[in-house]
């Protein structure tokens, strides 16, 4: 049922209100499977009663009268026929070959009446299900009887499930054989991913990725075609070479080409030449020397094989037909077709492809032509085609030229990396590593394996060391491997080691005259220095690299450096500059860059868009990044991180948390501590969005890991200090104000003159929230206003909104309601404008609390009890209900010490010294608050025993034992 469960569910739902369902679609699309699955589910639901009348007509029986009716009535007991009147009974028995065949119109009418009466009799004893799998082959007499009967069964418990084969995009022709109101459900093609899943599961054997993609393209979503092609590949072997050369099973060719084989020889030859090229046209076919391709294709069009549009483009009705035509021709005819096309086409890639297929043997000239075409394809932004051609060139390389063959395989592997075809790249590199006698070629093969590892370089130490042994005495090769060692150190959090390797790589590259590797090493050194909190050293390394490349306008060589410069600008709060640089870079690289380059740029742009307050755009960019990776079949931590980050800004807290958890797991699996830091930080932010103790506890857990990882890495870049502020905020939510203070002090000790304003504002926000958490709302508001003033000078609207919400809450607790309303109104307006949905929801929530407080104030000044923080209110409610300190700590995910400290503050605010006194004081507060609310909202009736205490002590249910108003 791969890819069909939703359609099956739709059919089940339709049958609850409709008398029938008709699945329709082309052969092999899965209609019979759906019919069987639907009948099985209906039979299970209708047990024990119910009658199923089933027939599955086939083409060979379509001319036999009443064979469909005979199959349908095979399970109808003779007793049902005995109840019929004599004439209908005799006519039906004759149709079922139990008597003489009906010979006149009166007898045929009697058959119709008899079938209708039998159906009514069956329906009187239980539900009846008519199943016709293959309406297109139902013999005409049976079809006429069925159409007569189903028009007259309205009101009876009779339903129908049927399937009809129709051409692509055509409508069913035998809906008349189904009860009126039957819904027609077209069975659509499977998605490529579903085809891959079906083939892998159905064959129980893996296929090369290139072959699997060819099956997906040829089957075009038809599951039967896909399975037949897969089985034939396993039987005959994967096609060697380029082009549409998938083997097609003989029986499938016979089915598809039964009529095509009756065409004249010239028409079949024209179809073959058209099938041998990816873009056939009348112009191309004429250039290939065909006399009258239009006339030949007109005959093929009449058979539903291929057509010619008004522009002269030749189109096969289905890709499977093209593959069948090509596979059905003898080998020498296929070669001849490719030879004709090689002389006719002018595009270098297609010309080289046809040349190689026309000469399927080792030939150095052909190999060189293919390599030239591969380089052309890569420059044209088609690395997948470049890989295919380069691998083809290696096969055409004569056996006495092993060095050339290895060079071409290495080029193919590099093109595969560019295309994101990691499995193919790894297989080719391993082939060279095992067979080449050249140390430098073995080093290059290892470099491809390192590149293939993506972020997962933690276990690559041995691969690098083996490469260094092969590279001894070769400064260029040593530079390559030292650079990879630097990248590994960066990702694994070994910053000092990474810096040492990066400097060594730059020196060796300079000795070898390898400017590209030197530039890459300097860029890595800049990243390391930035992460270590050394922005001046990072800028210096980056500027040296840019000077070597020839400036920011030097093309592909400068792309990574521009991205790095933008990230450094982002971390320094120069958000507009960063956004301009990366947006321009993305427009420049377009479709010509490899998957890695595009993904890195999209991740950087997502980060920038979130910070600059373009939350809706960030969601779109992150989705684009995920799509780019989905095409490769790889789920990388950076893409997941970008998606989670965008969700915290413009999505939902649940979505952000789910994606962040995935990013954490992916980073851990890769051993990538650099992105693990970021993924954990986003997870902490997502948990904070939830706004409850459980979320805050999860946020503390994630952000504490960020702090520990950063310390282990000796990292000190601006984002890390920003995440310290988030950790302190989460601790405050849990009431862990002492721990929050310690985190803030530690962060303050790391602040320098180069620390960006956004980091200072984050720490000020954390300090303000801590003051408010300690019950000093006015002091907290002062700190928060300072943070707001700082952020107003920076283009960071998301951070501003976060801080405005915190300030509004503090102002509300300090009873400065007008100030709170103004601040929260600005927060809501800004969040809505920039698309920050989670923050907009928080702002609305705070405004609702404020409005509730205003209503209580109007109802009676001074109503209620003292001002409590949310954490204090939760603790007071649980303690008042009889919970012990340990039980409260467990419920709220905080320490017993925190409960004790908060409870001491609650005692002081209520002026009591014991838990019993606290319970009585809270009950009095409930009476005062409840009376005020009842006065203001006397139209609202509260159920006895479920009084809600709102306002100064938050919203919490008071146990019945403490509800004195009873």
Q: Is pLDDT larger for residue 882 or for residue 564?
A: 564
DSSP state of 73: G
pLDDT at 771 over 80: yes
* Alpha-carbon span 582 to 589, nearest angstrom: 10
Average pLDDT over residues 377-400: 90
Pairing of strands 128-133, 306-308: unpaired
The angle, 0 to 180 degrees and rounded to 10, between the axes of the packed helices 718-733 and 737-750 is: 170
The answer to whether the CB of 44 falls within 8 A of the CB of 121 is: no
Q: Place 960 in a pLDDT band, splitting at 50, 70 and 90.
A: very low
Whether residue 561 contacts residue 552, with contact meaning beta carbons closer than 8 Å, is answered with yes
Picking from 256, 235, 233, the residue whose alpha carbon sits closest to that of residue 245 is 233
pLDDT digits (tens, 9 = 90+) for 818-832: 999 999 999 999 999
Determine the pLDDT at residue 870: 66
pLDDT in tens, 545-589: 888 888 767 667 788 888 888 988 898 899 999 999 888 888 877
| Rounded Cα distance, 39 and 22, in Å | 12
How far is Cα 68 from Cα 845, in angstroms, rounded to an integer? 67
Taking every pair of C-alpha atoms in the chain, what is the biggest distance, in angstroms?
107
With a cut of 50, say whether residue 933 has pLDDT above it.
Answer: no
**CB-count exposure of residue 434 (10 Å: 0-12, 13-18, 19+):** exposed
For residues 211 and 593, what is the distance between their CA atoms, to the nearest angstrom?
24
Q: Residue 184 phi/psi, 5° resolution?
A: -90, 125
Note if the bond before 750 is cis, omega within 30 degrees.
Answer: no
SS3 367: helix
Q: Is the per-residue pLDDT at 909 higher than 80?
A: no
Task: Report d(CA 76, CA 540) in Å as an integer.
Answer: 90
Tell me: the pLDDT tens digits for 69-93?
999 998 888 888 888 888 888 888 8
Percentage of the chain lying above the pLDDT 70 cut: 89
Q: What angle do CA 812, 813, 817 make, to 5 degrees?
A: 25
Residues in the chain: 966
The model's pTM is 0.63
Strands 128-133 and 20-25, bridge-based pairing: unpaired
State yes or no: pLDDT of 528 exceeds 70: yes
Q: Which residues contact 814 (CB under 8 A, 6 or more apart)?
A: 777, 778, 781
Name the burial class of residue 879, with classes exposed (0-12), middle (13-18) and buried (19+) by CB atoms within 10 angstroms of its CB. Answer: buried
In tens, the pLDDT along 795-849 reads 999 999 999 999 998 898 888 889 999 999 999 999 999 999 999 999 998 898 8
> Cα 824 to the chain's mean position, in Å?
35
pLDDT tens for 671-705 read 888 888 899 999 999 998 877 777 888 899 999 99
> Cα 266 to chain center, whole Å?
48
Average pLDDT, the chain: 85
Report yes or no: 862 and 846 within 8 Å, Cβ to Cβ.
Answer: no
Q: Which residue has the tokens 């299970």?
A: 44
What's the average model confidence in pLDDT over 907-928?
70
**DSSP conformation class of 99:** S
H or E element in which residue 22 lies: strand 20-25
| 648: confidence class by pLDDT, cuts 50, 70, 90 | very high
What pLDDT is recorded for position 384? 87
Of 45-49, 496-500, 916-920, highest mean pLDDT? 496-500
Higher pLDDT pick, 281 / 693? 281
* Digit-coded pLDDT (tens) for 433-461: 999 999 999 999 999 999 888 778 888 88
**Closest C-alpha to 416, from 629, 557, 594:** 594
In the predicted model, is pLDDT for residue 952 greater than 50? no
d(CA 543, CA 537) in angstroms, rounded, equals 10
pLDDT attached to residue 680: 94
Number of H helices, E strands in the chain: 46, 9
Q: Which residues contact 462 (CB under 8 A, 6 or more apart)?
A: none
- Going by pLDDT thresholds of 50, 70 and 90, the confidence category of residue 637 is confident
The pLDDT assigned to 568 comes to: 87
> For 762-778, what is the mean pLDDT?
90
Kindly report which listed range (315-329, 453-467, 775-789, 935-949) carries the lowest average pLDDT score: 935-949
pLDDT of the residue at 281: 92
Q: How confident is the model at residue 945 (pLDDT cuts 50, 70, 90)?
A: very low
Cα distance between residue 684 and residue 719, in whole Å: 13
Query: Which residues in 347-385 are b (16+ Cβ under 10 Å) and which e?
Result: ebbbbbbbbbbbbbeebeebbbbbbebbebbbeeebbbb
According to DSSP, the β-strands at 956-957 and 948-949 are antiparallel
String of DSSP letters for 768-810: HHHHHHTT-HHHHHHHHHHHHHHHHTTT-HHHHHHHHHHHHHH
Can you give the pLDDT at residue 511? 94
pLDDT at 966 over 50: no
Residue 937 has pLDDT above 50, yes or no: no
Alpha helices, DSSP H, located in 359-421: 364-379, 383-396, 402-419
The pLDDT value recorded for residue 421 is 84
Give me the pLDDT at residue 627, please. Answer: 78
Residue (of 326, 307, 316, 354) closest to 268 by Cα position? 326
- Does pLDDT of 154 surpass 50? yes
- pLDDT, tens only, 473-488: 999 999 999 999 999 9
Residue 101's pLDDT is: 56
The token duo for 835 is 């698309």
Pairing label, strands 948-949, 314-316 = unpaired
d(CA 631, CA 594): 12
Give strand pairing partners of 20.
Answer: 160
The closest of 95, 189, 173 to 134, measured between CA atoms, is 173
CA proximity to 787, closest of 771, 811, 805, 763: 763
Sign of the alpha-carbon torsion through 10, 12, 14, 19:
positive
Contacts of 377 (CB under 8 A, 6+ apart): 349, 383, 385, 386, 389
Residue 753 CB neighbour total at 10 angstroms: 4
């Amino acid at each position: 049922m791969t890819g069909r469960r939703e359609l099956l569910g739709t059919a089940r739902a339709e049958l609850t209100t409709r008398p029938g369902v008709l699945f329709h679609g082309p052969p092999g699309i899965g209609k019979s499977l759906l019919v069987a699955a639907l009948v099985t589910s209906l039979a299970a639901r209708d047990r024990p009663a119910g009658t199923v009348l089933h027939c599955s007509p086939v083409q060979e029986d379509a001319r036999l009268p009443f064979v469909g009716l005979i199959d349908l009535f095979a399970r109808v007991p003779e007793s049902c026929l005995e109840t019929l009147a004599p004439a209908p009974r005799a006519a039906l028995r004759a149709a079922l070959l139990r008597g003489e065949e009906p010979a006149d119109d009166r007898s045929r009418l009697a058959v119709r009446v008899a079938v209708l009466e039998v159906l009514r009799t069956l329906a009187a004893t239980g539900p009846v299900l008519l199943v016709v799998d293959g309406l297109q082959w139902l013999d005409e007499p049976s079809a006429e009887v069925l159409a007569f009967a189903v028009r007259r069964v309205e009101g009876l418990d009779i339903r129908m499930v049927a399937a009809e084969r129709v051409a692509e995009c055509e409508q069913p022709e035998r809906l008349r054989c189904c009860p009126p109101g039957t819904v027609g459900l077209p069975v659509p093609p499977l998605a490529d991913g579903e085809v891959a899943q079906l083939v892998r599961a159905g064959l129980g054997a893996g296929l090369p990725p290139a072959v699997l993609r060819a099956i997906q393209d040829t089957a075009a979503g038809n599951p039967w075609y896909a399975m037949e092609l897969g089985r034939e590949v396993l039987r005959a072997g994967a096609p060697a070479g380029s082009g549409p050369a998938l083997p097609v099973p003989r029986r499938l060719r016979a089915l598809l080409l039964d009529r095509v084989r009756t065409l004249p020889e010239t028409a079949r030859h024209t179809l073959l030449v058209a099938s041998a090229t990816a873009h056939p046209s009348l112009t191309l076919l004429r250039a290939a020397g065909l006399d009258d391709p239009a006339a030949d294709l007109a005959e093929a069009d009449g058979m539903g094989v291929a057509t010619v549009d008004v522009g002269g483009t030749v189109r096969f009705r289905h890709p499977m037909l093209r593959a069948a035509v090509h596979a059905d021709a003898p080998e020498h005819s296929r070669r001849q077709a490719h030879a004709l096309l090689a002389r006719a086409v002018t595009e270098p890639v297609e010309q080289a492809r046809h040349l190689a297929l026309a000469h399927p043997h080792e030939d150095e000239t052909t190999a060189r032509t293919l390599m030239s075409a591969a380089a052309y394809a890569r420059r044209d932004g088609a690395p997948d085609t470049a890989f295919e051609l380069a691998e083809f060139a290696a096969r055409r390389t004569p056996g006495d030229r092993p060095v050339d063959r290895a060079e071409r395989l290495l080029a193919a592997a590099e093109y595969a990396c560019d295309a994101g075809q990691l499995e193919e790249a790894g297989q080719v590199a391993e082939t060279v590593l095992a067979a080449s006698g050249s140390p430098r070629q073995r080093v290059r093969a290892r470099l491809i394996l390192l590149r293939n590892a993506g972020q997962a370089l933690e276990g690559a130490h041995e691969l690098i060391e083996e490469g260094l042994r092969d590279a001894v005495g070769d400064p260029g090769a040593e530079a390559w491997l030292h650079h990879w060692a630097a990248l590994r150190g960066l990702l694994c959090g070994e910053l000092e080691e990474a810096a040492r390797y990066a400097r060594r790589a730059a020196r060796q590259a300079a000795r070898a005259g390898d400017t590209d590797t030197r530039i890459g090493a300097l860029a890595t050194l800049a990243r390391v220095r930035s992460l270590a909190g050394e922005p001046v050293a990072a800028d210096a390394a980056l500027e040296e690299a840019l000077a070597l490349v020839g400036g920011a306008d030097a093309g592909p060589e400068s792309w990574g450096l521009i991205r790095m410069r933008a990230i450094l600008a982002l971390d320094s709060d120069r958000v507009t500059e960063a956004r301009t640089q990366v947006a321009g870079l993305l427009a420049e690289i377009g479709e010509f860059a490899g998957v890695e380059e595009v993904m890195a740029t999209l991740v950087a742009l997502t980060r920038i868009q979130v910070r600059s307050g373009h939350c809706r755009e960030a969601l779109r960019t992150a989705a684009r990044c995920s799509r780019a990776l989905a095409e490769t079949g790889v789920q990388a931590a950076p893409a997941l991180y970008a998606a989670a980050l965008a969700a915290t800004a413009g999505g939902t807290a649940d979505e952000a948390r789910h994606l962040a958890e995935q990013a954490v797991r992916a980073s851990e699996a890769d051993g990538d501590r650099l992105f693990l830091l970021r993924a954990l930080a986003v997870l902490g932010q997502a948990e904070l969005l939830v706004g409850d103790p459980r979320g805050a506890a999860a946020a503390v857990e994630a952000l504490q890991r960020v702090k520990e990882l950063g310390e282990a890495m000796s990292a000190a870049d601006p984002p890390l200090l920003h995440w310290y502020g988030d950790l302190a905020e989460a601790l405050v939510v849990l009431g862990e104000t002492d721990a929050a203070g310690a985190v803030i002090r530690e962060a303050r000790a790391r602040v320098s003159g180069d620390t960006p304003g956004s980091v200072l504002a984050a720490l000020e926000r954390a300090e303000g929230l801590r003051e408010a958490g300690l019950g000093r709302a006015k002091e907290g508001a002062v700190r928060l206003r300072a943070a707001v003033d700082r952020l107003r000078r920076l283009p960071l609207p998301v951070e501003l909104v976060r801080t405005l919400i915190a300030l509004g809450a503090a102002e509300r607790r300090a009873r400065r309601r007008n100030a709170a309303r103004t601040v929260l109104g600005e927060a809501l307006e800004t969040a809505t404008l920039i698309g920050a949905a989670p923050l907009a929801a928080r702002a609305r929530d705070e405004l609702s609390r404020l409005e509730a407080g205003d209503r209580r104030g109007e109802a009676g000044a001074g109503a209620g009890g003292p001002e409590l923080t949310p954490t204090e209110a939760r603790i007071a409610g649980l303690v008042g209900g009889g919970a012990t300190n340990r039980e409260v700590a467990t419920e709220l995910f905080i320490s017993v010490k925190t409960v004790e400290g908060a409870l001491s503050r609650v005692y002081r605010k209520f002026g009591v010294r014991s838990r019993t006194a606290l319970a009585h004081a809270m009950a009095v507060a409930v009476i005062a608050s409840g009376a005020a609310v009842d006065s203001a909202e006397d139209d609202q009736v509260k159920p006895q025993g479920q009084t809600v205490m709102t306002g100064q002590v938050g919203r919490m249910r008071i146990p019945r034992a403490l509800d004195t108003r009873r």
